[in-house]
């Protein structure tokens, strides 16, 4: 519930302006509910109209993406880039290729990205983009032609000092390679810093592939240490999804002594009580883009169950949702609590519905919100931009050390912000306040309005 009349008015206007953008409303409400104490303390935010400016994207670009399939059939998809905020740096955020993509989802993701990027402590603004293109079942040639067409149009709107896209759902190293190739071709310039998540031979950074999942575990480990004097050691971990974030969260959780027993995709989930064998998952997912059900055919003692929601019935000490938004509702959250879970950290963006977060907080379970917990991906993207500017590449150990330092800092920053405003332990509130304050002060100082 929002208390401040000013924030209530801002939220009402967001809903009235775009009544159908449910995911965007959800993300805005979750943030505004946290801002009451800081709005009370800093009346200039209201007097200068900071919050109503903050919730309106600086620019929304929508474009046609025509492409030809392997049989000569013509397809038209829709492409978008939401350039939400450039108050503290060039627009920065991923591209999502998934049939569900629409403006509501991209605006929620772009909005969250502003706060997340602010929390990294690095100079990057917030953006998100993508297309309703479905890469599943498409040949490499089809994906390449789609990416080329997408970038032909997007290229006029981005640049290493303007807007720097990266990957997200459905966009990994293969897609970034095709997108970069087309950017280079149409612009006639080698500006490596225009995209992140690039291949290592053309300006990519070591650790970027692993960064979101590793960063999630570094922050979770710090949270367990500071708030429970505990760690991953000996813990049972359930991770949803089996894409980039889930795979490298599994790797790091296991390195830290945890036992990951379940993974999922949008069709179903696997359960391996002995601990997931990650080399087999990598072979299935990264080797030939297969489905997670193959795991159960290859590993005796493991099972596959249809339906991705059932994964949260498996008891665990630590839950890391790493698939997509709104996958954990109130009922699943109650099951997770009942089964004795001690910590939930969001690897995906907004995987927990508001009722679920309430369940965790009421039960006294540790909860690390996405904008802090999964910030390792974009933070390492910013490290990739730094290396591109220097025309230099750091070692794996160097980037990993910096990533870990950033995640530990984020944890302490959000913990301290929650404490300062009288809500010790409420990391969701701490993340919203700390992320917002930096951007709001930059807006005030620059006289953006
Ligand atoms: P991938 O495309 O690599 O993997 C996505 C995974 O989530 C797949 O297992 C996919 O299953 C599953 N999934 C996607 N959509 C749905 C759905 N509607 N219902 C159920 N399962 C679904 O993406 P990432 O791992 O990169 O992204 C996962 C999450 O992490 C997203 O929320 C993303 O925004 C967030 N994130 C990603 C970062 C990155 O650096 N990549 C950084 C920070 C956050 P299937 O194969 O069946 O579609
Ligand atoms: O949600 C996210 O933070 C990402 N998909 C990564 C964005 C980036 O620019 O690396």
Residue 314 maps to which CATH number? 3.40.50.720
Query: 11 and 98 share a domain?
Result: no
Of all protein residues, the one whose alpha carbon is nearest to atom 43 of ligand 1 is 374
Instruction: Note the pLDDT of residue 156.
Output: 98
Is 380's C-beta closer than 6 angstroms to any atom of ligand 2? Answer: no
Distances (CA, A) of 406 to 82, 116, 268: 26, 12, 34
Query: 50 and 69 share a domain?
Result: no
Query: 367 and 286 share a domain?
Result: yes
Q: What is the pLDDT of residues 314-353, one digit of tens each?
A: 999 999 999 999 999 999 999 999 999 999 999 999 999 9
Final residue in a domain of this structure, among 373, 403, 425: 373
Strands in 103-168 per DSSP E: 126-131, 163-166
Query: 84 and 179 share a domain?
Result: yes
Query: 232 and 283 share a domain?
Result: yes
- Three-class SS of 403-437: HHHHHHHHHHHHHHHHHHCCCCCCHHHHHHHHHHH
Q: Tell me the average pLDDT across 226-244.
A: 98
Q: Which residues line ligand 1 (CB under 6 A)?
A: 167-170, 172, 212, 241-246, 265-267, 308, 322-324, 347-349, 374, 377
Instruction: Note the pLDDT of residue 449.
Output: 53
Query: 265 and 351 share a domain?
Result: yes
For residue 76, the domain's CATH number is: 3.40.50.10860
Residue 341 lies in a domain: yes
Residue 42 lies in a domain: yes
- For the annotated catalytic residues, the residue numbers are 128
The residue among 204, 211, 153, 155 whose CA lies nearest residue 177 is 204
Final residue in a domain of this structure, among 346, 373, 400: 373
Find the domain containing 42 and state its range: 5-54
Helix, strand and coil content of the chain, in percent to the nearest 5, comes to 50, 15, 30
Residue 416 lies in a domain: no
Residue 81 lies in a domain: yes
Residue 425 lies in a domain: no
Residue 290 lies in a domain: yes
Final residue in a domain of this structure, among 54, 74, 94: 54
Residue 395 lies in a domain: no
Query: 113 and 216 share a domain?
Result: no
H/E element holding 180? Answer: helix 173-187
Name the band, by pLDDT with cuts 50, 70 and 90, for residue 448: low
Buried b (16+ CB within 10 A) or exposed e, 243-272: bbbbbbbbbbbbebebbbbbbbbeebbbbb
Query: 221 and 178 share a domain?
Result: no
Residue 382 lies in a domain: no
Query: 113 and 158 share a domain?
Result: yes
Is 117's C-beta closer than 6 angstroms to any atom of ligand 2? Answer: no
237 CA to centre of ligand 1 in angstroms: 18
Provide the number of structural domains found in the chain.
Answer: 3
Q: For the whole model, what pTM was predicted?
A: 0.98
Asked whether 82 and 116 are in contact (CB, 8 A), the reply is no
Q: What is the pLDDT of residues 187-228, one digit of tens each?
A: 999 999 999 999 999 999 999 999 999 999 999 999 999 999
Q: Which of 109, 321, 377 to mutate to test the pocket of ligand 2 (most atoms within 8 A of CB)?
A: 377
The residue among 443, 385, 394 whose CA lies nearest residue 159 is 385
């Amino acid at each position: 519930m929002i208390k401040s009349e000013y924030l209530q008015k801002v939220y009402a206007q967001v809903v009235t302006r775009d009544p159908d953008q449910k995911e965007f409303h959800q993300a805005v409400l979750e943030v505004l509910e946290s801002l009451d104490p800081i709005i009370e303390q800093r009346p200039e935010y209201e007097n200068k109209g900071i919050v109503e400016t903050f919730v309106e994207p600086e620019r929304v670009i929508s474009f046609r993406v025509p492409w030809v399939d392997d049989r000569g059939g013509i397809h038209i998809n829709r492409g978008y880039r939401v350039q939400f905020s450039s108050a503290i740096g060039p627009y920065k955020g991923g591209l999502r290729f998934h049939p569900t993509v629409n403006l509501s989802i991209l605006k929620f993701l772009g909005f969250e990205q502003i706060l997340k990027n602010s929390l990294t402590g690095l100079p990057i603004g917030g953006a998100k983009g993508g297309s309703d293109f479905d890469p599943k079942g498409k040949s490499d040639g089809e994906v390449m032609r789609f990416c080329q067409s997408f970038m032909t149009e997007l290229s006029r709107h981005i640049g290493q000092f303007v807007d720097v896209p990266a990957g997200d759902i459905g966009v990994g190293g293969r897609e970034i390679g095709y997108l970069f190739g087309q950017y280079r071709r149409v612009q006639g310039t080698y500006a490596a810093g225009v995209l992140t998540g690039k291949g290592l031979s053309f300006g990519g950074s070591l650790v970027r592939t692993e960064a979101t999942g590793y960063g999630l575990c570094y922050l979770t480990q710090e949270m367990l240490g500071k708030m429970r004097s505990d760690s991953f050691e000996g813990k049972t971990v359930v991770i949803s999804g089996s894409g980039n974030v889930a795979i490298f969260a599994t790797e790091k959780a296991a390195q830290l002594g945890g036992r990951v027993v379940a993974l999922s995709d949008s069709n179903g989930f696997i359960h391996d009580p002995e601990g997931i064998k990650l080399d087999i998952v990598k072979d299935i997912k990264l080797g030939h883009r297969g489905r997670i059900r193959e795991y159960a055919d290859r590993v005796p003692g493991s099972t596959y169950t249809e339906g991705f929601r059932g994964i949260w019935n498996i008891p665990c000490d630590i839950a890391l949702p790493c698939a997509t938004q709104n996958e954990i509702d109130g009922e699943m959250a109650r099951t997770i609590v009942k089964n004795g879970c001690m910590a939930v950290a969001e690897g995906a963006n907004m995987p927990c519905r508001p009722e679920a977060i309430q369940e965790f907080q009421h039960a006294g379970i540790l909860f690390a919100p996405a904008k802090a917990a999964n910030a390792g991906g974009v933070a390492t993207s910013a490290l990739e931009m730094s290396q591109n500017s220097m025309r230099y590449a750091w070692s794996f150990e160097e980037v990993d050390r910096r990533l870990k330092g950033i995640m530990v800092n984020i944890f302490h920053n959000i913990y301290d912000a929650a404490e300062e405003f009288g809500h010790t332990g409420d990391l969701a509130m701490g993340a919203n306040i700390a992320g917002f304050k930096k951007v709001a002060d930059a807006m005030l100082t620059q006289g953006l309005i």
